[in-house]
Amino acid sequence: MKDFTVEYFTMTEQDAIEYAKAIKLFPEEAELTCKEIGDGNLNYVFKIVDVKNNQSIIIKQAGPVARISDEFKLSPDRNRIESEILGLQYKLAPGFVPEVYNYDPIMNCTVMDDLSDHEIMRTALIKHKKFSLFADHISTFLVNTLLLTSDVVVEHKEKKELVKQFINPELCEISEDLVYTEPFYDCPRNEVFEGSKEFVKENIWNDKKLVLESAKLKFEFMTNAQSLLHGDLHTGSIFIKEDSTKVIDPEFAFYGPAGYDIGNVIANLIFAYANGKFTIENEETQDDYLNYLVTTIKDVVNLFTDKFNKAWDEKATERVASYEGFKEYYLDTILRDTAAVAGLELLRRIIGLAKVKDLTTIEDREARIRAEKICLTAGKTFILNRDSIKTGADFINVIQSAELTSVKGA
């Protein structure tokens, strides 16, 4: 049997079984099988099943380079960050994250709940499934993890300790590059769909005002240690079933602007919207699905606002938090950042190298170009007009105006 206590190595499926036995995750008589099921950009995910007792767990291991490309050399310490933030979020937002059973700083792996009875939300949305509780669930998760880790609620020295604990320079650098920098010029690492390239050149790279705004936002991302973020809250980081939502993969966690997580959720619902619009042929089914997404996007914003206001009134400990007008000012800045980040995410998933299946699986070339144009147009508006986008209805207006522009321009 291999020794897992000396130095790190990247595990095979067989190693993962031996590892599970070595750390005694299952009873002696267990009959274990293992399958590597990771489909993300960075890590290895082993599902271990005890077929005798019908029990299963997940072992997630961080390697020294990203799966998506050897070019990204990453400290496996991200696995510590992930296990620690999952522990914290488990307390702040009970029911919305998997339980962690073990973290191993030598093998850089975390053992957690197997959520195989759930489905990755992006995959489910591409199949046009609807989840009526999602907006309620995710808005609670967002308020609890963002407001309750901020200086509004946490004692300031304790909060600064948390900032230290979750300093995450390498993964932040990925977001600084892929979200805030590379999409705004003809970077060799970009991978623009050939049919969208002219549009991107004209409307994004050549728009000096937009490029300037991206610079301002990049510096806010790097310097505003407001809340402990998930840091990569797209629909591929969410496991879902009808009555349950579980947020996974918080390895990009760090203290940053609260709107970053909310904006990512919104943008990825918009990708699902674009997919539905261009892949559902039956008009009635399409209307029904798009209406579901419109309602969900509106609800995410409006429920976040309502729950944020309530939690602030009940949980704020900072003295100045009660000054008249301060809560409204603070929430306004979060909503402004939400709009901006929704815009950035919409642009970077089309222009940059980390794509979303919602768009790449649209087979018809013209339909994909139209879907991308709508997302790019909406993205640009979210960034440029971020100061005046505040309500669920404002977010929907941006999407619907982008659709109209694409029809006129088509």
Contact footprint for ligand SR1 (CB under 6 A):
40-42, 66, 68, 72, 174-175, 178, 232, 354
Give 74 or 293: the residue with its C-beta nearer to ligand SR1: 74
Provide CB contacts within 8 A for 117, sequence distance 6+.
241
Give 249 or 403: the residue with its C-beta nearer to Mg ion: 249
By CB under 5 A, residue 15 contacts Mg ion: no
Give 40 or 256: the residue with its C-beta nearer to Mg ion: 40
By CB under 5 A, residue 40 contacts Mg ion: yes
Which does residue 367 bind out of Mg ion, ligand SR1, none, counting CB within 5 to 8 angstroms by kind? Answer: none
Give the Å distances, CA to CA, from 350 to 148, 150, 160, 205, 224. Answer: 33, 32, 36, 13, 26
Which does residue 66 bind out of Mg ion, ligand SR1, none, counting CB within 5 to 8 angstroms by kind? Answer: ligand SR1
Amino acid at position 35, single letter: K
Give 73 or 319: the residue with its C-beta nearer to ligand SR1: 73
Shortest separation between residue 115's beta carbon and Mg ion, angstroms: 14
Stretch that binds Mg ion, among 122-130, 178-186, 243-251, 268-276 (CB under 5 A): 243-251
Instruction: Report whether 37 contacts 45 (CB < 8 A).
Output: yes
How buried is residue 366: exposed, middle or buried, by Cβ count under 10 Å (0-12/13-18/19+)?
exposed
Nearest residue to 132 via CA among 301, 333, 295, 341: 295
Structure token pair of residue 37: 């099921």
Give 248 or 369: the residue with its C-beta nearer to Mg ion: 248
What is the distance in angstroms between the CA of the first residue and the CA of the last residue of the chain? 63
Shortest separation between residue 237's beta carbon and ligand SR1, angstroms: 7
Which does residue 372 bind out of ligand SR1, Mg ion, none, counting CB within 5 to 8 angstroms by kind? Answer: none
Which helix (H) or strand (E) segment holds residue 405: the answer is helix 392-409
Which does residue 143 bind out of Mg ion, ligand SR1, none, counting CB within 5 to 8 angstroms by kind? Answer: none
Count CB-CB contacts under 10 A for residue 276: 22
Shortest separation between residue 40's beta carbon and Mg ion, angstroms: 4
Sheet holding 55-61, edge to edge: 32-36, 44-50, 55-61, 109-113, 100-104
Stretch that binds Mg ion, among 3-11, 245-253, 262-270, 365-373 (CB under 5 A): 245-253
**Looking only at Cα atoms, what is the longest distance across the chain?**
67
Give 64 or 409: the residue with its C-beta nearer to ligand SR1: 64
Distance CA 273, CA 268 (A): 9
Nearest residue to 135 via CA among 305, 312, 301: 301
Give 68 or 393: the residue with its C-beta nearer to ligand SR1: 68
Interface pick for Mg ion out of 249, 261, 345, 372 (rule CB under 5 A): 249
Shortest separation between residue 67's beta carbon and ligand SR1, angstroms: 9
* Cα four-point dihedral sign 98, 79, 356, 299: positive
Question: Which SS3 state, helix, strand or coil, does residue 256 take?
Answer: strand
Which does residue 178 bind out of ligand SR1, Mg ion, none, counting CB within 5 to 8 angstroms by kind? Answer: ligand SR1
Which does residue 264 bind out of ligand SR1, Mg ion, none, counting CB within 5 to 8 angstroms by kind? Answer: none
Shortest separation between residue 121's beta carbon and Mg ion, angstroms: 13
Stretch that binds Mg ion, among 143-151, 197-205, 222-230, 249-257 (CB under 5 A): 249-257
Positions touching Mg ion (CB under 5 A) are 40, 249
